[in-house]
């Protein structure tokens, strides 16, 4: 939340220079408050796990958030029960007449397919197009970041020589970016993917900025200069044991798996990995909700019907 202090207090200039959000009296007086309308388009097979992880982060905010869970109507989920989807989920066509303050699109285990082979690709393209005029800010996670960058900006997906798998240290590229407010100079994030996005395609696009990256894992946070689209290549939402679960799963399937990097204490898979990314994850989501959604979205959000 912003701090409201008198315009003439010396701290105001100092804090503004440090990328701290300071609100002046006139804006504070005029600010109307209502619950935020956020949808999560959940493309993960393990929907209940992902719901919980994302809601935990969205819930850590003083803002009231009204959450709608969405699943793609053009895909029949094998791993989530129809009963769960019927009880708790909607599809895009049921909500597309209303605008959203924020939209989160999750990862999906389809990164090694061509985008066009994904069963819900046409539907996702429709949602991406709609989001440009009907959502204040959209956050795309992992595969959704690759898909969004490809759809909106033609950024190519690139196969990695080996899976980017582990918990990596990251640094920020720019000061005075609202999404990065309060970030430590070095912070940690899990990555778990076989593909990356083309740096060349991103760097040559003046509408895109690389906000944070990792020497080992590459680009992490990419955003449009207007903040309407955020692309997150890692999984800050993961639970402490998510990477272990993926590692054990793949070993059980008989795959040759390298240990997740910088994860198990002393690289011993019998030891419990500590979560060293939780503070970062909470800050990323609360900064997004506050500065890219709440402070930007209009109070009267729905289109006026004459």
Ligand X SMILES: CC(=O)SCCNC(=O)CCNC(=O)[C@H](O)C(C)(C)COP(=O)(O)OP(=O)(O)OC[C@H]1O[C@@H](n2cnc3c(N)ncnc32)[C@H](O)[C@@H]1OP(=O)(O)O
Ligand Y SMILES: N[C@@H](CCO)C(=O)O
Stretch that binds ligand X, among 17-25, 116-124, 174-182, 210-218 (CB under 6 A): 116-124
The option from ligand Y, ligand X, none interacting with 217 (CB < 5 to 8 A, set by class) reads: none
Whether 77 has a binding-site annotation, put simply, is: no
Is residue 246 involved in binding ligand Y (CB under 6 A)?
yes
Is residue 109 involved in binding ligand Y (CB under 6 A)?
yes
194 is catalytic: no
235 is catalytic: yes
How many residues does the structure list for the chain? 306
Name the DSSP class of 46: S
Name the DSSP class of 265: G
Stretch that binds ligand X, among 11-19, 26-34, 113-121, 265-273 (CB under 6 A): 113-121
CB atoms within 10 A of CB 55: 16
The option from ligand Y, ligand X, none interacting with 44 (CB < 5 to 8 A, set by class) reads: ligand X
Is residue 117 involved in binding ligand X (CB under 6 A)?
yes
CB of 8 to ligand X, least distance (A): 49
Window 236 to 265, contacts with ligand X (CB under 6 A)? 249
Q: What are 212's strand-pairing partners?
A: 172, 221
Nearer to ligand X, 84 or 181 (CB): 84
Beta strand spans in 49-184 (E): 65-70, 89-90, 100-105, 135-141, 157-172
Q: Give the β-pairing of 208-214 and 157-172.
A: antiparallel
Separation CA 138–CA 151 (nearest Å):
14
Window 127 to 146, contacts with ligand X (CB under 6 A)? 142-143
Is residue 109 involved in binding ligand X (CB under 6 A)?
yes
Q: Environment class of residue 277 by beta-carbon count within 10 Å: exposed (0-12), middle (13-18) or buried (19+)? A: buried
Q: Give the β-pairing of 135-141 and 229-232.
A: parallel
**Candidate list 51, 71, 140, 142, residue with the active-site label:** 142
C-alpha to C-alpha distances, 60 to 101, 155, 165, 232, nearest whole angstrom: 17, 33, 27, 19
The position carrying tokens 């069963």 is 119
Window 8 to 47, contacts with ligand Y (CB under 6 A)? none
Separation CA 105–CA 232 (nearest Å):
10
Q: Give the β-pairing of 218-224 and 229-232.
A: antiparallel
Spell out, one character per residue from 58 to 97, where the chain touches ligand X: x when CB under 6 A holds, - when not. Answer: -----------------x-xxxx-----------------
Q: Can you read off the two tokens belonging to residue 7?
A: 């315009």
The option from ligand X, ligand Y, none interacting with 46 (CB < 5 to 8 A, set by class) reads: ligand X
Selected binder of ligand Y within 38, 39, 51, 111 (CB under 6 A): 111
Whether 163 has a binding-site annotation, put simply, is: yes
Whether 156 has a binding-site annotation, put simply, is: no
The option from ligand X, ligand Y, none interacting with 153 (CB < 5 to 8 A, set by class) reads: none
Q: Distance between alpha carbon 133 and the CA centroid of its chain, in Å?
A: 19
Catalytic residue set: 142, 235, 237
The footprint of ligand Y (CB under 6 A) covers 109, 111, 192-193, 246
Specify binding-site residues for substrate.
163, 192, 249
The footprint of ligand X (CB under 6 A) covers 44-46, 75, 77-80, 107-111, 117-120, 142-143, 192-193, 249
């Amino acid at each position: 939340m912003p701090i409201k202090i008198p315009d003439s207090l010396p701290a105001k200039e100092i804090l503004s220079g440090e990328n701290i959000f300071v609100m002046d009296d006139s804006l504070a007086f005029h600010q109307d408050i209502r619950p935020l309308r956020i949808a999560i388009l959940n493309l993960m097979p393990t929907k209940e796990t992902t719901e919980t992880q994302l809601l935990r982060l969205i819930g850590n905010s003083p803002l009231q958030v009204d959450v709608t869970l969405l699943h793609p109507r053009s895909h029949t989920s094998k791993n989530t029960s129809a009963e769960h989807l019927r009880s708790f989920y909607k599809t895009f066509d049921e909500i597309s007449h209303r605008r959203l303050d924020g939209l989160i699109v999750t990862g999906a285990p389809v990164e090694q397919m061509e985008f066009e082979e994904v069963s819900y690709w046409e539907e996702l393209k429709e949602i991406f197009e709609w989001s440009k005029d009907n959502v204040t800010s959209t956050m795309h996670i992992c595969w959704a970041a690759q898909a969004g960058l490809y759809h909106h900006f033609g950024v190519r997906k690139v196969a990695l020589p080996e899976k980017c798998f582990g918990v990596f240290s990251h640094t920020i590229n720019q000061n005075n970016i609202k999404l990065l407010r309060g970030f430590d100079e070095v912070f940690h994030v899990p990555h778990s993917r076989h593909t990356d996005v083309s740096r060349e395609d991103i760097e040559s696009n003046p509408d895109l900025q690389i906000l944070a990256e990792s020497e080992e894992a590459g680009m992490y946070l990419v955003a449009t200069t207007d903040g309407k689209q955020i692309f997150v290549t890692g999984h800050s939402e993961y639970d402490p044991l998510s990477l272990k679960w993926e590692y054990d799963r793949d070993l059980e399937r008989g795959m040759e798996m390298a240990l997740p990097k910088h994860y198990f204490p002393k690289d011993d898979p019998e030891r419990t990995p500590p979560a060293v990314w939780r503070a970062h994850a909470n800050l990323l989501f609360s900064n997004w909700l506050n500065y890219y959604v709440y402070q930007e979205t209009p109070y009267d959000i729905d289109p006026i019907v004459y």
